Structure 1
Amino acid sequence: MVARADAPATLLIAPTGGGKTMAGFLPTLAELADGRHTGLHTLYVSPLKALAADIKRNLRTPVDEIGLPIRIEDRTGDTSATQKKRQRADPPHILLTTPESLALLTSYEDAPRMFAGLQRVVVDEIHALAESKRGDQLMLALARLQSLCPGLRRVGLSATVEDPAAIAQLLAHHPDPCEILMADPGPDPNIAMLETAEAPPWSGGGAAYAIPAVLEQVRQHKTTLIFHNTRAQAEIFFHNLWLANDEGLPIGIHHGSLDRQRRERVEAAMVRGELRAIVCTGSLDLGIDWGDVDLVIQIGAPKNVKRLVQRIGRANHRYNAPSKALLVPANRFEVVECVAALEAARAHDLDGEPRGPGPRDVLCQHILIAACAGPFDADALYAEMTGAGPYADLERVEFDACLDFCATGGYALRAYDRWQRLQQRPDGLWQLRDPRSAQRIRMNIGTIQDTDTLKVRMRRNRGGKPLGEIEEGFAASLSPGDTFLIGGQVVRYEGLREMVVEVSRERGRKPKIATFMGTKFATSTQLSARILDMLQQKDWPQLPRHTADWLALQRRMSRLPQRGRLLIESFPHDGRECVCVYGFAGRNAQQTLGLLLTKRMEETGLHPMGFVATDYATLIWGLDAPTDPRPLFDIDALRDGLDTWLAGNAVMKRTFRASATIAGLIERNTGGQRKSGRQATFSSDILYDTLLKYDPDHLLMRITRAEAMRGLVDFGRIEEMIARVGARIDLVRVGRVTPLAAPLFLEVGKVPVKGAAEERLLAEESDRLLAEAGLVGIGA
C-alpha cells in the first residue's frame, strides 16, 4: 500500500530504523525541490527537543548533498529569542518544533501570516504524545492550523502502536478520514533475561546484584543503553556501576533532571561513538538515531510492553538488523513480570490504556491562547475544537463552562478582577479584557507540570558550574555537609543562595540519594493479566529455578492468584493479624486500595494499624482478621470512603494545582520570575480550600476529581478489578507468612494507620501493668 501525498491524514507505522521519518518528509522535499515555495511549507512536531535537533541534522544531509534550496530550522525552548523573532517574520521552509512551541506560535496575532503557506504537518513518535496532555494540546493547535490552512495534510509516525485505529482517530481532522499504513515489521528482536551469578533479592529496585553481569555485557558490546524506570534508580545504578568499573570504561548518565549542557555533551559523545554505555531513563526512549548502539539493557520490569519494545528499538537502529536487548529484574517477583513482558514482546502483543475524552484544563488553556491571537467567535471556536480528535465528542455545554471559567473564574471567583480575563464585545466576539495579559498567558503555555525543583550548581568560587535539579522537598531536608548524588557524582551540600543549591565535590563518602520524582510506572492491565495466566501454569520451565521453586512453595502453602478471582490471604505474624490482597491493579491503585480498605476495616471494628503496597498486592496488618472480606469490597462504600478521603487530601491539592496551572488560574511564571514550588502550593491550597467550601461543583474541582481518579489515585482500576471478580473472592487462612506475601514485609513506603487500634493497645497495656502491680480491683 502506498500513501497518497494529498491524503488529509496518514498514520505510518514502521519499525525503528525503517526510514519512516524520511518517508514522512519525501513529499515535502519533492514539493520544495523547484524552489518556488516561499515561507513555511512543513511543520515537524516531536515530543523531545533532542529528537528535533537529531532530525534536523539527518535531514540536512540529503538536502545539502542534492543541493536543494530548502531552509530547515528548529524552534524549541532552547532557541534564542532573536532567532524566534526572525522565524515569525521570515519562517523557514521546514520548521522542527515541540507541542509547547507550536501552541505559543498560534497565540500571536501574526499567526495567520506565518502559517499562510503551510502544506503539511509531520507528527513524530505520535504514540508518546497520544498518552499525555501534550498530545491533546497538539491536536487543538493543529485544529487551529486547519482553520488557517484548510488544505493542511497530516502525517503521524510511530514504531509502537497497540491500537492504530485509535491513534488514527486522534490524528485526523474530524470528520476527515485517516489512512493507516503498516510497514513490514522486519526481523524479530533478540531479547532475553540477563543471566547473573546471584539471584535477585526479594524486594527493592536497584538491581545492584547484577552490576558485574551488566559490566561484562558493556565490555562485549560497542555501545550499551541501560534503561531505568526512575531517575533516582538511574543515579544509584550509575554510581554503583562506576565504582565497579575498574577498567575505566567511558560511561555516561542521561536523564531529565540533569543540566541541559550536560545532557547535550552526553548526546554528542554518543554520536561520536566515544561512550561504551549510557545509564538513562525515558529521556532516551524515543527515536534518536544512534546507530552504534548494539545492546539495550532494561533494569527493572518494564511495566508496559509497548515501552519495552520502544526501548529495544534503540539498539541496532537499522531496518534489517534485529535489536538486541536484555532484561534485568530488580527483585524476585519482577522475574515473573520480565518473562511475561518478553513473551508479550515476542508475540507482538502491545498494551496500552484507552484514553478518555480530551481533558478540560487543556481546553481552558486553548481558549486563552485563542484570545491572545485576537477576538474570536464562540461558535467558530467550538466548531474548530471539535475538529480535534480528543475533543470530537465535546458537548457545547462543556465548552461553554470552560469559556465562562476563562471569562470570570467561575461562580466563587467572579468577584476578583484578576480572574476576569475575557469579555464579550457588543458584536458578540470574545476578547481579552486586558490586552496586556496576553504576555502572561504566553509565559504559562504548556501542559508539562514540573515537580518543585531547585537548580544545583557548584559553589560560586568554583565557577558556578550547573549540574541539574533536585526536588525542593529533598533540598529542604539537607544540612551543610550532607552528601547526595547528581549526574553520577557525589557532591556536598554547602547552602542555598537565591533559590540555587550550592555544592562542592565530595569523594569517597556514601551519599544520600536525590529524590528525583521522574515517572513511576504502573504495570499495565494487559501485562498483569498475562502474569496471572502464567501463575496458573502447572510448572514454569521458562522461569529460573529459584523463582519457579518459590511459586511452587506458594501453591503448596496457600494458592496462587488467578484471573477473574481475588485472592486474599490471612495469617498471624509478629503478634499482629495480616491480610494480603492480590489485586494486580498497579501501584497507585493498590496504594489507594490500602487507604480505603483500612478505612473500611476501622469502620467495622477490625483495628488496622498500617499497610504497604506494590504493583500486585496490598499488605495490611492490625489487631483483627476479617472472617468475610466481601463487605469490605462493597464498591459504593469504597467510593464514599474515597470521596471523604479525597476532600482534604494532599493528593487532591496536588492534582488541583496541576490542573489549575494548566487552565490558567495559577501562574508559575510572572514577569520573568518563576514562583517557587512552595509559593505555588500556598496559593493553590488557599484556592482549593476556598472552592471546596464555597463552590465544590466549580469546573476546576470537577476537573481535579476526574484527574485524580484516573491518575494518582487510579480508582478506575479498582472499579475494574471489583467488577471483574464480582463475588469470586477467596479468603485463605494460613498459619504463617506465605512465600508470595513475605517480600511485601521488606518493601519501603509503609503507611501507618492512626485509629482505634492504638487506643485498644494502650488500654490492654494499661490493664497488663495494673495486673502486674496487683492493682486490679482496688477501689472498684
Structure 2
Amino acid sequence: MSLDELHPSLTHHIVNTLGWPGLRPLQQEAVGPLMAGEDALLLAPTAGGKTEAATFPLLSAMVTENWSGLSVLYVCPIKALLNNLLPRLEAYSGWLGRRTGMWHGDVSASVKQRIRDDPPDILLTTPESLEGLLVSTKTDHRKFFAGLRAVIVDEVHAFAGDDRGWHLLAVLERLSKVAGRPIQRVGCSATVGNPHELLIWLKGSQAGVRPGKVIAPDVPAITEVLEGDPPPAGEVELDYVGSVDNAAKVIAALHQGEKRLVFADSRRLVEELAAALRERNVTTFLSHASLSIDERRQAETAFAEARDCVIVATSTLELGIDVGDLDRVIQLNAPRTVASFLQRIGRTGRRSGTVRNCLFLALNETGLLDAAALLHLWGRHWVEPVTAPPEPRHIVAQQLLAQCLQESRVGDRLWIEGWNGLHPFDASAAPILDFLIDEGHLENDGGMLFIGPRAEQKFGRRNFLELTSVFTAAPEFTAIAGREEIGRVDPAVLATPAEGPRVLLLAGRSWRVTWIDWKRRRFFVEPSTAPGSIRWNSTGGTGQGRSFALTRAIREVLLGGDPPVQLTRRAIAALADARTRHEDHVDGAGTIIGTEDSERRWWTWAGYRANLTLQESLGELAEDFGVTDNSLRLRRDTSTAALRDRLAHKLRAPIPDEQALTGLKFSTALPRSLAVATLSARLADLDGAAHIRDQAVVLR
C-alpha cells in the first residue's frame, strides 16, 4: 500500500529500475508520516534502508506539492559519507526531474559558485558547511534557503553525543528563521538506548509543538536486562592473541579468499596491523582520518571491487559508507560502546544465506576485558543512551558571534529570537553576551551588535573558518612523496630526536623523511625498506576513560561472568589469568579498599568520571593523582568511617585544571568561571558516584 502513496514515477523506478518487489518495513512505515510533514526518527540496523526511507517520501512530497529551489538538506557527520551517497541520491532525484548537489570543504570553488547561482533541490552537506553558507558574504542566504522544507540528519546519534550536536541544533534553528517556517526534521540512526529522547532532542524548539514519531519496525525493544533471553543473532567469537603481529598471523591464516574489514580504534594500530599484513602478502588497504583523501578513496574503491583482501580502518568506516559485500568483520580489542559494535557487525550478513559475524582479537589484558565486558552488555540487549553533553556554553558563545557575522548587525534586544527559544541559546545566554561585549569580541553601537576587533583577530583568518569549525584539530604536518600527498602526522613525531634516518609508517608503508618544511607544515618522504613507526597524540577531551556501565561490566566479568559468545582456549586461559590477578580488587559484596605497594586504593569499578567525582567529593582524603576507570588512590590513614562521613555530604563535580580549559574551543569567548563550570559538568558522573557511595565497602 505504501508504494501506491509515493509519486507514480518514483514507484515505477523502485519496481523497474531497482528491481524491488516492494518496500522494507521501515520504508513502508515512513511513507505516511513523512509525506504528511511529520518529524521522525528512523531507526534500523546498518544497511536497513534508512536513506531510502527518508528520501523517497520527501521526493514524492517535493513533486506533489511543487516545492521549488533548495528544498531538502541531507546532513552527514563526515564528508566521506556524503561522497558515498551522492551518486545514489542523484539517481533518485533524477527519476523525478530533480537535482542533487553536494557542498563541503573538498568541493571546488567553481562547483560551489554554480550551486549558489542555481541551487539543486537536495543538498548534501555538513553542519559546518551550512554555517559557512549562512555567514558567507558570497551567499544571499535568505534567497538561497527561501524554499527549505525539510532536513534529513543521517547518523544522528553520531551528532547528538557531542558538541557537534549542539552546533547542528543551533544552525537548524537559524535556518528555520531564515526560511521563515518550521523545517521538517528526519533523523536516521542505528540502534540507540533512548530513541524517544533522541527524537525530542532532534526536534529542538519544536519539541511538543510539531507531530513526530519513532519509526523502528526492525529494532526490538531495548531494556537494560533481559535475563534468560538468548543473545542477539550472529556468530561472535572472542580470541586472545597478545600482539599486533599475532593478530596479523591469525587474520592472514583465517578466511582466505574472503573480504574482511578490520576495525582498530587508533590510527597507530591501523598502520601497524596493515604493515604486518602486507609483510605476509595479504592484499591490504587502510582508512583513517590522517590519510590523504586520495589514499582513502583509492583504498575504499579498490576494497569495494576486490574479493580476497583486508581493509583496516578506524571508526571512519563504522558509519554507512558502502564498501560492498563483506564476508567478515574483525575487531582489534574493542570499541568503547555497544552501539559502535552493532554498527560494525551490521556490515556483515547482508547477502542471502550469510549471517552477521564478528571476531574479536584481544591484544592485551585490557583489550580482552573491554571486549568481554562489551559483549556481556550486548548479550543482555543493552545499548547506551545517547545524551548531549551538558552546559554547552562555549557553543553558545560561538553561535552569538556567528549570528552577528551572518546578519552583519543584530539588535541588542532581538538577538534572543535567533534560535526560536531553544535552550541554552535563549535569555540564559545574556551573561555570555555581556562578556563578549566587555572583551571586545562584539561591539554595541546604538543598540546594534556586530563583530568586534578581538573576534576579528582570534577567529577572522580565512573568512572566519575558525569560527565555523566547532572542534579544534591538532596541527598536523602533511607527508608528500614526489607530487603525491600521503597523509598527515603529529608534528611531535618529526621533532623527536632520531638516530640515523627518520623512517615513518604511513598508509601502511615505510617512508624515509628527506626534508621538513616547518613553516608550511609539510615534509617530503621517499619509500624505505627499513621498518617505520608512527604515533598520534590523542585529541581527546572531557569524558575520557571508560563509562560507568562498561566498567561495571568489566567487574562482572572478573567476578566470573562470561559473555554469551564463543571463547577460544586462549581467551578462556587469559580471562582466568585476569581474574586471578584481580581477585583482591573485586568482591560481589561491594567495593574494596586495599593497600598494595604502599598505596591505599579504593577499587570502585565505577568508570573514570564517577571516580573523578568521588575524588573531588572526598577532598583531602583522596590523593591528587591516581584516578583510573577502576579505582582511586586514598590517603593511607583513610578509614571506611571517614570515607562514608565525607561522602554523606553533597557530591561535588570535579574542578578541571588550566590545561584542560585550553582544549575547550571558544573558551576564550567565555568568562573563566563559566568555562570552568562547563568542563566541570562534563567531567562529573554524579549518578555513578552516588551508586558507589551507597555500596558496601570491604577492607582488605
Where on the TM-score scale, by shorter chain, does this alignment land: which range?
Answer: 0.7 to 0.9
Instruction: Work out the CA distance in 1 between the residues paired with 2:106 and 2:490.
Output: 22
Do 2:325 and 2:351's aligned partners in 1 also have CA atoms closer than 8 Å?
A: no
Residue 103 (1) aligns with residue 128 (2): no
Q: Name 2:538's counterpart in structure 1.
A: 517
Q: 1:192-591 to 2 correspondence within 5 Å?
A: 192-195=236-239, 199-201=240-242, 207-221=244-258, 223-243=259-279, 245=280, 248-273=281-306, 276-317=309-350, 322-352=355-385, 354-357=387-390, 359-374=392-407, 375-388=409-422, 391=423, 396=427, 398-409=428-439, 419-425=440-446, 428-432=447-451, 437=456, 440=461, 442-444=464-466, 445-458=468-481, 463-479=482-498, 481-497=501-517, 498-505=519-526, 507-517=528-538, 522-537=545-560, 544-550=571-577, 553=580, 558=584, 560-562=586-588, 565-572=590-597, 577-586=598-607
AA aligned to 2:134 is T
AA aligned to 1:166 is E
Q: 1:17-28 to 2 correspondence within 5 Å?
A: 17-28=47-58
Instruction: Work out the CA distance in 2 between the residues paired with 1:640 and 1:89.
Output: 55
Change (3 A) 1:590 1:435: closer
Q: Name 1:82's counterpart in structure 2.
A: 110
Among 592, 596, 616, the alignment partner of 2:630 is: 616
TM-superposed deviation, 1:477: 1.2
AA aligned to 1:19 is G
* CA distances 1:722-772 after superposition (whole Å, capped 9, x unpaired): 422227464544xxxxxxxxxxxxxxxxxxxxxxxxxxxxxxxxxxxxxxx
TM-superposed deviation, 1:447: 0.8
AA aligned to 1:372 is L
Q: Name 1:659's counterpart in structure 2.
A: 666
Change (3 A) 1:579 1:541: farther
Instruction: Work out the CA distance in 2 between the residues paired with 1:591 and 1:213.
Output: 39
AA aligned to 2:505 is L
Instruction: Work out the CA distance in 2 between the residues paired with 1:364 and 1:31.
Output: 37
TM-superposed deviation, 1:596: 10
TM-superposed deviation, 1:31: 3.4
TM-superposed deviation, 1:473: 2.7
What's the RMSD between the two structures over aligned residues? Answer: 3.6
Do 1:218 and 1:276's aligned partners in 2 also have CA atoms closer than 8 Å?
A: no
Instruction: Work out the CA distance in 1 between the residues paired with 2:563 and 2:53.
Output: 44
Instruction: Report how many aligned residue pairs link the two structures.
Output: 640
TM-superposed deviation, 1:254: 0.8
TM-superposed deviation, 1:79: 0.8
Residue 142 (1) aligns with residue 172 (2): yes
TM-superposed deviation, 1:350: 0.4
TM-superposed deviation, 1:135: 1.4
Do 1:536 and 1:562's aligned partners in 2 also have CA atoms closer than 8 Å?
A: yes
Among 666, 675, 679, the alignment partner of 1:708 is: 679
Among 21, 28, 41, the alignment partner of 2:71 is: 41
* CA distances 1:377-398 after superposition (whole Å, capped 9, x unpaired): 455442442544xx2x6562x3
Larger Rg: 1
Instruction: Work out the CA distance in 2 between the residues paired with 1:570 and 1:174.
Output: 53
AA aligned to 1:616 is N
TM-superposed deviation, 1:36: 5.2
Do 2:155 and 2:319's aligned partners in 1 also have CA atoms closer than 8 Å?
A: yes
Name the SS for the 2:116 alignment partner.
helix
TM-superposed deviation, 1:52: 0.8
TM-superposed deviation, 1:18: 1.8
Do 2:76 and 2:154's aligned partners in 1 also have CA atoms closer than 8 Å?
A: yes
Instruction: Work out the CA distance in 1 between the residues paired with 2:284 and 2:39.
Output: 42
TM-superposed deviation, 1:540: 8.5
Change (3 A) 1:731 1:579: farther
TM-superposed deviation, 1:548: 4.8
Do 1:230 and 1:518's aligned partners in 2 also have CA atoms closer than 8 Å?
A: no
Name the SS for the 2:298 alignment partner.
helix
Instruction: Work out the CA distance in 2 between the residues paired with 1:541 and 1:120.
Output: 43
TM-score (norm 1): 0.74
Instruction: Work out the CA distance in 2 between the residues paired with 1:636 and 1:377.
Output: 49
Moved more, 9-18 or 546-555: 546-555
Give the percent of matched residue pairs that are identical in Structure 1 and Structure 2. Answer: 24
AA aligned to 2:660 is V
TM-superposed deviation, 1:299: 0.8
Do 2:330 and 2:358's aligned partners in 1 also have CA atoms closer than 8 Å?
A: yes
TM-score (norm 2): 0.81
Change (3 A) 1:3 1:344: farther
Moved more, 253-262 or 294-303: 294-303
Instruction: Work out the CA distance in 2 between the residues paired with 1:21 and 1:377.
Output: 40
Do 1:304 and 1:523's aligned partners in 2 also have CA atoms closer than 8 Å?
A: no
Residue 10 (1) aligns with residue 32 (2): no
Instruction: Work out the CA distance in 1 between the residues paired with 2:374 and 2:454.
Output: 53
AA aligned to 1:113 is K
Change (3 A) 1:91 1:562: farther
Do 2:93 and 2:100's aligned partners in 1 also have CA atoms closer than 8 Å?
A: no
* CA distances 1:113-164 after superposition (whole Å, capped 9, x unpaired): 0011111111100000101211111111110121233142111111222211
Change (3 A) 1:378 1:215: farther
Change (3 A) 1:642 1:632: farther
Residue 172 (1) aligns with residue 203 (2): yes
Among 699, 705, 725, the alignment partner of 2:692 is: 725
Instruction: Work out the CA distance in 2 between the residues paired with 1:436 and 1:402.
Output: 14
Change (3 A) 1:43 1:641: closer
AA aligned to 1:651 is A
* CA distances 1:469-494 after superposition (whole Å, capped 9, x unpaired): 11123322144622222211122233
Do 1:536 and 1:560's aligned partners in 2 also have CA atoms closer than 8 Å?
A: yes
AA aligned to 1:650 is Q
Name the SS for the 1:160 alignment partner.
coil
Name the SS for the 1:229 alignment partner.
coil
Do 2:547 and 2:609's aligned partners in 1 also have CA atoms closer than 8 Å?
A: no
TM-superposed deviation, 1:501: 4.2
* CA distances 1:577-625 after superposition (whole Å, capped 9, x unpaired): 244443334457768989999975679xxxxxx85x65434579xxx95
Change (3 A) 1:548 1:364: closer
Residue 650 (1) aligns with residue 659 (2): yes
Change (3 A) 1:582 1:499: farther
TM-superposed deviation, 1:552: 5.6
TM-superposed deviation, 1:420: 4.1
Which segments of 5 or more consecutive residues in structure 1 lack a partner in the other structure?
410-418, 604-609, 666-698, 734-780
Change (3 A) 1:300 1:703: farther
